[in-house]
Amino acid sequence: MKNFIKILILICLVIGITACGKPKVEDIKAKMETHLQEKYGESFVVENIGMRDANGQKFYTARTYPKAIVGTPKELDDYYYATVNIDILSNGKLRKTGDTYGEVNTREEAEKYLLPKAKVLFGERIRLKTEPELQEKDDKNGLWYGYITPHFQDGRDKAKNDPEKYRLKMTLYLYVFDKIDREKEKKERRAQLFEFLQYLRAEKLDKYLEVFMVFTDDIILAPSFEEKRYDLENDLENRKEIEKSLREEVKSMDDNTRHKNINLIKKSDLKLNNDSTIYNYCKSRFLVLTMEMLKIDEYGRYDEAKEKNTVDKHFYKNERDIEYKEFKKYLFKDGE
């Protein structure tokens, strides 16, 4: 009987130790929040905590974003979300906390850095989306891999001070809510973009650079656009009347309302493919793709440029080298 009691006590102790050894969700969350606070100097929301397994490595992961964006349009935009992770060691202990918010923070800091100059050149009716990516070269295989840095300036410094080890790729989307209606305006806009390129060159941000300057119909800024959008795109008989009413709304908007509606457009929707709302309302775009970016392009555009004998254009010695294209599938073509 005594042996049975001893065994029972031992089992209870083992169960108790095991239970105590497994961290509580509240403790995991607190650890993640503390890590983010200390690293970025602000408070974060940590939610949807769960355990995952990747290639045999178990870890806790959660979605995170700054508390400062709660209640703002940014809260509804995936562009501002990141993950925070903690690996679980084989003995059940936890490794140091890691996160991907550095990517978001770097984009935000890059936008803050570039937006004032962009507004001077292109006006207030713009939405800028930045996608800087710091890459590090693996000395063993010579391949380049993404390197998450917590700050934009940190990425710039690494690429500048050790270009053999690091490179900073910059992809910029400049959405201008206007249409190019005349050849003269096309020339003026190309000159503006060339001046912006000179600015980026002076800032040492042009080596691995891609810029999409997109002109999109400001009809999407109308207050009732979403309400009327389905009929606008599908009711062919009444389309012109619907379009006309939306354009009248845009004309009657004051600058504050217009800027507010521009800022409501999600950064995650600012992309050139047909799964975004804004795609069907793009009229035209300019493209800058510098030589070094062209050489590492994953879509084979370097070979295409060689075939067309247009490689030299990517040195951008003058504004005429900037490519211009009109979207053939534009929803409201002139004369329709």
Residue 3 placed within a domain? no
Q: For the chain, how many structural domains are there in total? A: 2
At 94 the three-state DSSP class reads strand
| Same-domain pairing of 45 and 160 | no
pLDDT at 18: 41
Strands (E), the chain: 44-54, 57-66, 82-87, 98-99, 126-137, 144-146, 166-177, 208-216, 282-289, 323-326
| Same-domain pairing of 182 and 244 | yes
pLDDT at 194: 98
Residue 245 placed within a domain? yes
| Same-domain pairing of 115 and 214 | yes
For the chain, residues with pLDDT lower than 50 are 2, 4-20, 334-336
Question: Could you tell me which residues are beta bridge partners of residue 129?
Answer: 173
Residue 5 placed within a domain? no
pLDDT digits 0-9 by tens, 11-43: 443 444 344 457 889 999 999 999 999 999 999
Q: Which domain CATH number covers 94?
A: 3.10.450
Of 99, 123, 142, at which residue does a domain stop?
A: 99
pLDDT at 274: 66
Number of residues written out for the chain:
336
pLDDT digits 0-9 by tens, 225-275: 999 999 998 888 998 899 999 999 999 999 999 999 999 999 998 887 766
pLDDT at 21: 59
Read off the DSSP letter of residue 58: E
| Same-domain pairing of 252 and 289 | yes
Residue 16 placed within a domain? no
| Same-domain pairing of 36 and 62 | yes
**What range defines the domain where residue 35 resides?**
22-99
pLDDT at 64: 98
CA max distance for the chain:
100
Which amino acid, residue 87? D
pLDDT at 16: 40
| Same-domain pairing of 52 and 115 | no
